[in-house]
Chain A
């Protein structure tokens, strides 16, 4: 594998891709949909905040990110899922394999092309992100990290789709499976987390000590009333059975979920400034309560709820104290996705290796 070889393949694939499709249209529609979404979210936010709240960018940006991620997950599989078997069908793969390009050159070159195209789609959202930044609360650091993490996830999806196209001889099969892979990563992780949590829910016995008051604890009360209370109170320990979910054992099933990774990896929004807090408290003292947009940050709240799952249950339910620094989930998610992507590229390279010993069923070399 050489940089030159990879560049040769990637350049060729990209050229063919541009010439084959109506890209101007596709990119135009993509941007139009995102623009419409941004406008609608902005209108919705303004409806809530009656023009007083600051940092509406937090909500606009957070919603936009989740929306873009969802749409990208629909676009990216199509970019690579017919790459290898499509070339086999057209008879162009073998003519590539007899050149001095290695299997790695071809696999990584094709990945660079599909991934790069996905990133073009992603970069097209930056003007809208810029708009969200002007509405306050969105830091450049957050935009940078979120964009990089989404780009990385698009790489994983590209690699998995590419791998499927090298494993299966029919382009329609690999196309369908690529979308199923995305489904598994998004909805599948959610379902498996839900089921695993239900299965691992455990019974536990909670004991509590009943402390009965004495008459001296109830001064000034008529004796008849005191008798009523004291007769109803049985001293000693009481125990009752209950169930509790052990999400501290199952949270990792959610970790590879792209939405979870992006939301949890997003840096926290900057803390409320002293001046803002004073102003808010002043308003609240006057009885003017209003939705604090920083509390409805879509990325932050999703991240927080996933982190909460990692807590060990205490006394049947999990305490969530905002002050407590919770352990992050995204490093596991990133690791899982990188591992998946690297494994997919490795397998693709192996499939592209020639001379080949075995061929997928129903497949001709040339």
Chain B
């Protein structure tokens, strides 16, 4: 992991932005350090996309202080654009170009020389597993391929800061794993990566830090390994060789459980200690338990707690 330089990465404090009567962002604070993946998490309409537009030099905030890669996106937008890559939640691709032509065009728009743009396009096509589709028109690409091309576009100029709005939406499981590995690699190489996403399971394995936003304000900012241990109960899923025995044991011991499904039976438990106690009790009673796992993970639990 690279050393944090003062002024690098992304620092946003007290960002506000309204559209007419709608207060899209009412006060978001966010820090994203180089070498780390920062997850931006929150319900639809929480202001994630608007915040990313401010960081991406597209919107002037009404209030707040923003630095991206050491520069002010409002007064030094060109300096920021030279160091920042942004990928919107829409593809924003030209249907009638080929992937290669498109990346070469973005290279030219980023002021790479023609040979440099060509070389870079080749590298990115390889990185995005699009080599065999390189000369096919974009409209023939699958959703996942388009998503990867959109990400490649943001990487053309090797940015220090990467802003990705819902990059994994609609990707198949393998593509999501690949995306995760790619983003980890980019962070490892020193980029500050901000990812907004609803796929909390993915983020749990990808992000170093997470910023929770709700209704336009930051409601929590944590390292992923230091997520607050939830004060609220969360569901755990149990499975046994004989489900009837399990359900009977749960009922007998007064546990509040849902109706069993082929996947198992869900029980609400206050914390890890309660889960351990339940498991110990079941085994003592001779229930043939084969699985006991928290549902949704820590990130989801925190998310549900912080956002209403």
Q: A residues touching B (Cβ–Cβ < 8 Å)?
A: 4-5, 8-9, 12, 15-16, 19-20, 90-92, 94-102, 354-357, 359, 365-366
Contacts and interface: CB of A to CB of B under 8 A. Distances in A.
A19 B96 contact: yes
Contacts of A12: 94, 105
A92 B92 contact: yes
Interface of B: 19, 49, 53-54, 56-60, 73-74, 77-78, 81-82, 84, 86, 88-94, 96-97, 101, 105-106, 108-111, 153
B266 to A, nearest CB: 39
Contacts of A96: 109
A45 B77 CA distance: 63
A298 B88 CA distance: 56
A365 B82 contact: no
A274 B161 CA distance: 80
Contacts of A365: 53, 58-59
19 contacts: A8-B108, A9-B109, A12-B94, A12-B105, A16-B96, A16-B97, A20-B96, A92-B92, A95-B106, A98-B56, A100-B111, A354-B57, A355-B54, A355-B58, A355-B73, A355-B74, A356-B58, A356-B59, A366-B49
Contacts of B153: 95
A355 B57 contact: yes
Given A100-B110, A355-B57, A95 B88 contact: yes
B88 A91 contact: yes
Given A91-B90, A356-B59, A98 B81 contact: yes
A172 B187 CA distance: 44
Contacts of B59: 354-356, 365
Given A99-B109, A355-B58, A356-B59, 18 more contacts: A4-B108, A8-B105, A16-B97, A95-B106, A95-B153, A96-B109, A97-B57, A98-B56, A98-B58, A98-B86, A100-B81, A100-B109, A100-B111, A354-B59, A355-B57, A355-B73, A355-B77, A365-B58
A99 B106 contact: yes
A91 B86 CA distance: 13
A301 B56 CA distance: 58
Contacts of A97: 57-58
A12 B101 CA distance: 9
Contacts of B92: 90-92, 94-95, 366
Given A91-B90, A355-B74, A98 B57 contact: yes
A95 B109 CA distance: 10
Contact of B82 (A15, A92, A100, A357): A100
Contacts of B86: 95, 98
Which of B60, B73, B88, B94 counts the most A-chain CB atoms under 10 A from its CB? B94
B301 to A, nearest CB: 32
A359 B19 contact: yes
- Which of A5, A9, A99 has the most C-beta atoms of chain B within 10 angstroms of its own C-beta? A99
A357 B19 CA distance: 10
A366 B109 contact: no
B99 to A, nearest CB: 14
B60 A355 contact: yes
Nearest to A2: B111
A90 B92 CA distance: 6
Contact of B109 (A16, A101, A359): A101
Nearest to B73: A355
A366 B58 contact: yes
Contact of A357 (B60, B89, B101): B60
A357 B109 CA distance: 24
A366 B49 CA distance: 9
A355 B109 CA distance: 17
Contacts of B19: 359
Query: Which of A16, A97, A355, A365 has the largest number of chain B CB atoms within 10 A?
Result: A355
A191 B108 CA distance: 48
A366 B77 contact: no
Given A92-B93, A95-B153, A100 B78 contact: yes
